[in-house]
Structure 1
């Protein structure tokens, strides 16, 4: 074993014209989350505790698309989803359709540990949350002024692509007509606004135990009831004996490619290393989709891969390596 390692992401697909101050804001948040994870790993917390802790921090901060700051449905509400997986015994928990749970990733863990099931959704997940006594808030808590503006734009034009939420001050200057000339197609159909800033964390602790967690609000202007890849074990999240993976980007493409599980499968069946496996999966399993992922191995390695124009990401390892980046 090569010691502990951690990786975190805030979504794949970044506006190349993203203002510098927003880039720095994102980097500061990723750095803060890495420091939280590093401290926990140095304190010998199990990897499963570390990924939950870090993703909770990302859900609480409104910068990315999870928890507070989640993308809005076509009805102007928030429906969140999350999953978590513990590598040693491949235990997992997932939730979808959450509207009042402050930290979806923690409810996913409770599904894993306190229920006989792996996945709960909508009213059943909300009822389970009440039974478990988790912190609940009004749906308005998750809604930001920025996202209300984006939803308004989404409803004014049939096809707008946002790789990243633009500052509120820039909403009025956005050219709806120009964006409408370049529709984004998902599963063969045009969608209005694509907000891929899902968050995730993967970690391996000093005993070689891998874990992964992913959380998101989904697509801006998505249909109520839509479920993406983030809560789907093997697609958006996976952890086993060899590695832990969290994905982000075009959910429908990630689902089709069972992206997260494929990284582990390539390592297991083809005998490739972590980065080689990530590169293979991103190149061969996404078809025409756009996505990215982060990964750690039980040997203390970190890796990432994406075919978008950027991905918010950060890494740290026990030997002192630490990196936070957005672009290639």
Structure 2
């Protein structure tokens, strides 16, 4: 065993012109969450407890796109989703379409621990949360002024996602399409928003776990479900590793990204970082995404094919890193 390791992320695809103070805020939040996880691991908390604890902290801070500060649907509401997976026995829980649950990751944990199911959504999920005594809040709790402004810009540009990777030039050619469908890309750099949050942990017993939480895409259709709550897409853990993804949900779903990290380790015999590099290069097609991962040997790894990913990682031997860019 190589001891414990932890990694956190606050989304992939970062505006290169992100103001310095926003970068510092993000790094401070990631550092705080890492330290929270580190002290929990030093207190012998299990991997599954640590990923829930850390993601709850990320959901409670409006900086990233999960819980409070979630991206808004086209109707101006918040619909959140999350999942959690315990590599020991491959137990998992997932939730979607939440509008009132203060901490979606904790409802995902309850689905795993207290229900006969793996995945609950919309009113059924919230009803279960109430039965379990989870804290409920009004939808307005999750909505920030920043995101209201971003939704306005997204609607003006007829776009779903803030994305600086694809130039806005030439988008007017789409206007010939009947009822012009929403663009997946096309807003200028300055309005790009951070994405999903996640945490992966291996504890000193070699148990791996992963959790991911998100508000989804700005100006998404109501009822849209992304990769974050889909086991094997946005989140996966087994006895070999734990993985949490972020980025273009539709591309992550098509590439079964998190499961593929485990699969190439299992079937190709690749090491953790090799496996991460392989899936980022070979499984995303045209999509843009990033992921964090830990292995049962106490290794930590990450990868992304876009301009930056908010991330931090630490291991028992004293290594610690918080970064945004390559």
TM-score bracket for the superposition, by shorter chain length: over 0.9
State yes or no: 1:2 paired with 2:2.
yes
Question: What are the superposed Cα offsets for residues 164-202 of structure 1, whole Å, 9 maximum, x if unpaired?
Answer: 9xxxxxxxxxxxxx847569x9xx972367755100000
Match of 1:219 in 2: 217
2:241 corresponding residue in structure 1? 243
Residue of structure 1 equivalent to 2:117 = 117
Aligned to 1:313: 311
* Matching residue of 1:191: 184
Contact 2:161 2:219 in 1 (8 A): no
Secondary structure of the corresponding residue to residue 146 of structure 2: helix
Equivalent pair of 2:154/2:161 in contact (CA under 8 Å): no
Q: Contact conserved, 2:200 with 2:208, CA < 8 A, in 1? A: yes
1:302 equivalent to 2:300? Answer yes
Give the whole-Å Cα distance in 1 for the aligned partners of 2:89 and 2:317: 27
Corresponding residue for residue 29 of structure 2:
29
Count of aligned residue pairs for this structure pair: 312
**How much has 1:155 moved relative to structure 2?**
1.1
SS in 1 for 2:224: coil
Shift of 1:160: 7.3
Runs (5+) with no aligned partner, structure 1: 165-177
Structure 1 pair 233–196 and aligned structure 2 pair: CA distance change class (3 A): farther
- State the alpha-carbon separation in 2 of the partners of residues 207 and 159 from structure 1: 46
Which residue number in structure 1 is paired with residue 132 of structure 2? 132
Is the contact made by 1:237 and 1:246 (CA closer than 8 Å) also made in structure 2?
yes
3-state SS of paired residue (1:18) = coil
Query: Once the two structures are superposed, what CA deviation does each residue of 1:14-60 show, in whole Å capped at 9, x if it has no partner?
Result: 00000000000000000000000000000000000000000000000
> Which of these residues, 289, 292, 296, is aligned with residue 291 of structure 1?
289
Give the gaps of 5 or more residues in structure 2: 175-180
Aligned partners of 1:310 and 1:326 also within 8 Å? yes
SS of the aligned residue for 2:243 comes to strand
- Paired residue secondary structure (2:290): strand
SS at match of 1:200: strand
**Runs of 4+ that moved beyond 3 A:** 178-183, 192-196
State the match for 1:90 in structure 2.
90
Q: What residue in structure 1 maps to residue 77 of structure 2?
A: 77
Change over 3 Å in CA distance of 1:321–1:190 after alignment to 2: same
Q: What is the RMSD of the two structures over their aligned residues, measured on CA atoms?
A: 1.7
d(CA) in 1 for partners of 2:208 and 2:170?
44
Q: Deviations over 1:269-327 (max 9, x none)?
A: 00000000000000000000000000000000000000010000000000000000000
1:84 to partner: Cα distance: 0.1
Q: Supply the distance in 2 between the matched residues of 1:95 and 1:180 (Cα, whole angstroms).
A: 38
CA apart distance, 1:158: 1.9
C-alpha distance after superposition, 1:115-158 (max 9, x if no partner)? 00000000110110111110000000000000000001111112
Secondary structure of 1:11's aligned partner? strand
Partner residue in 1 for 2:64: 64
- Paired residue for 2:144? 144
Task: Measure, in 1, the Cα distance between the counterparts of 2:117 and 2:161.
Answer: 36
Looking at structure 1, the residues matched to 44 and 77 of structure 2 have their Cα atoms a distance apart, in angstroms, of 39
